[in-house]
């Protein structure tokens, strides 16, 4: 039986104040966040009513457990593909905006070669009977290209613990890397305090959060603390590659839901990994809590079914702490 996220268990307990020791003085650093990485040339167009033409050449790609994941930061597209293995078919998914298209092997062609995927095949839209024909090529020029992050930010993260600063954050349970952020790996108990201390000193356009907390190695109980350029909740969710695939949801589904809550109540993402997101609500009135709890349960049933146990308990936690964990097993 898998262990529950530590932060989910903590929600039912009084919040404890956490402090982290940092060698640097407490003044706030003020360095501009780097621009979003250039995804190269990205083109999506609908030809007629049934063809989606995808042409993309850019530096944003990562190895994912034997496959390749291509994404453009904040530009609304993502392609994840796995070449065929023994006894298995190739797998290809393309997300454009709010829609994900899935290739069903048997018709058309999908070819994987190194960091390039070429496709000319019919694809079915997720959770729909709609069919489109995807034609195109996606090529990655460099694997895990580094995003320039100011040396002051790197130094600040380095001073937060004795851990080595890594020029990436991980996702997919530590199997893949995203170079849009940097990270350190620390103990579960120290991570919340380190995040708070970093946030107190990071300037506008930057944020810190807890990242991967469950790794492929089940004996590995440490937690990532991640620092990266952030314009809003969507950036953290995308860097974390939150992907509740077992519930027929995509990263962009989570982005859309959290963006709607952010517009209503203000949202601060405290933690994010491939299967969970911790949210703090900034301006949530008590009168809105019952409806929000119901909406959270419908979007993320594991928050109750494998978490706090009842919709009433979920509402009580939200009302008391103004935060919650979305968690998909």
Is residue 46 domain-shared with residue 28, that is, in the same domain?
no
Residue 217 in domain: yes
Is residue 189 domain-shared with residue 297, that is, in the same domain?
yes
CA distance 208 to 191: 10
Is residue 185 domain-shared with residue 321, that is, in the same domain?
yes
Is residue 120 domain-shared with residue 162, that is, in the same domain?
no
208: left (phi over 0), alpha (psi -120 to 50) or beta: beta
Given 95, 112, 140, which residue is the final one in a domain? Answer: 140
Task: Report the length, in residues, of the chain.
Answer: 329
Q: Are 298 and 272 in contact (CB under 8 A)?
A: no
**Which domain covers residue 111, as residue numbers?**
41-140
Residue 1 in domain: no
Q: Supply the Cα-derived Rg of the chain in whole angstroms.
A: 20
pLDDT tens-place string over residues 297-324? 999 999 899 889 999 999 999 999 999 9
Half-sphere exposure at residue 319, Cβ-oriented, CA atoms within 13 angstroms:
13
Is residue 173 domain-shared with residue 227, that is, in the same domain?
yes
Is residue 162 domain-shared with residue 15, that is, in the same domain?
yes
Predicted structure pTM score: 0.69
pLDDT tens-place string over residues 161-215? 999 999 999 988 888 888 889 999 999 999 999 999 999 999 888 999 999 988 8
Output the 3-class SS for 146-179. Answer: CCCCCHHHHHHHHHCCCCCCECCEEECCCCEEEC
Q: In the block, which residue shows the tokens 């440490």?
A: 222
Is residue 100 domain-shared with residue 15, that is, in the same domain?
no
Is residue 213 domain-shared with residue 157, that is, in the same domain?
yes
- How much of the chain, in percent, has pLDDT values that exceed 70? 72
Residue 125 in domain: yes
Poorest-pLDDT segment among 33-42, 155-164, 320-329: 33-42
Residue 287 in domain: yes
Close Cβ partners of 113 (under 8 Å, ≥ 6 residues apart): none
Hey, how many other C-beta atoms are within 10 angstroms of the C-beta on 198? 24
Number of structural domains (the chain) is 2
Given 140, 163, 182, which residue is the final one in a domain? Answer: 140
CA distance 214 to 211: 9
Is residue 245 domain-shared with residue 269, that is, in the same domain?
yes
Residue 276: band (very low, low, confident or very high) from pLDDT cuts 50, 70, 90 = very high
Given 125, 140, 155, which residue is the final one in a domain? Answer: 140
Most distant CA pair in the chain, distance? 62
Close Cβ partners of 131 (under 8 Å, ≥ 6 residues apart): 50, 122, 123, 124, 125
């Amino acid at each position: 039986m898998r262990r529950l996220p530590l932060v989910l268990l903590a929600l039912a307990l009084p919040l404890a104040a956490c402090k982290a020791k940092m060698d640097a003085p407490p003044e706030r650093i003020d360095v501009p966040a780097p621009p979003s990485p250039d995804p190269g040339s990205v083109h999506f167009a609908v030809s007629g009513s049934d063809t989606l033409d995808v042409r993309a050449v850019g530096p944003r790609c990562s190895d994912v457990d034997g496959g390749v994941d291509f994404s453009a930061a904040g530009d609304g597209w993502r392609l994840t593909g796995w070449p065929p293995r023994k006894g298995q078919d190739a797998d290809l998914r393309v997300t454009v905006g709010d829609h994900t298209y899935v290739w069903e092997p048997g018709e058309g062609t999908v070819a994987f070669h190194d960091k390039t995927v070429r496709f000319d095949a019919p694809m079915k839209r997720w959770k729909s009977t709609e069919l489109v024909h995807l034609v195109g090529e996606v090529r990655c020029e460099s694997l895990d290209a580094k995003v320039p992050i100011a040396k002051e930010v790197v130094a600040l993260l380095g001073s937060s613990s004795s851990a080595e600063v890594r020029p990436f954050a991980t996702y997919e349970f530590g199997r893949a890397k995203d170079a849009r952020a940097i990270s350190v790996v620390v103990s579960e108990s120290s991570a919340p305090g380190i995040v708070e201390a970093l946030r107190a000193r990071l300037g506008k356009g930057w944020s810190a959060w807890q990242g991967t907390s469950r790794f492929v190695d089940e004996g590995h109980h440490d937690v990532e603390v991640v620092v990266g350029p952030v314009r809003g909740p969507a950036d953290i969710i995308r860097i974390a590659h939150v992907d509740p695939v077992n519930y027929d949801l995509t990263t962009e589904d989570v982005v859309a839901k959290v963006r709607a809550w952010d517009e209503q109540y203000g949202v601060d993402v405290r933690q994010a990994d491939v299967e969970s997101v911790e949210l703090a609500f900034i301006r949530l009135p008590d009168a809105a809590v019952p409806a929000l709890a119901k909406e959270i349960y419908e979007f993320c049933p594991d928050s109750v079914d494998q978490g706090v146990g009842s919709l009433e308990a979920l509402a009580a936690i939200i009302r008391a702490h103004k935060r919650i964990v979305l968690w998909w097993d």
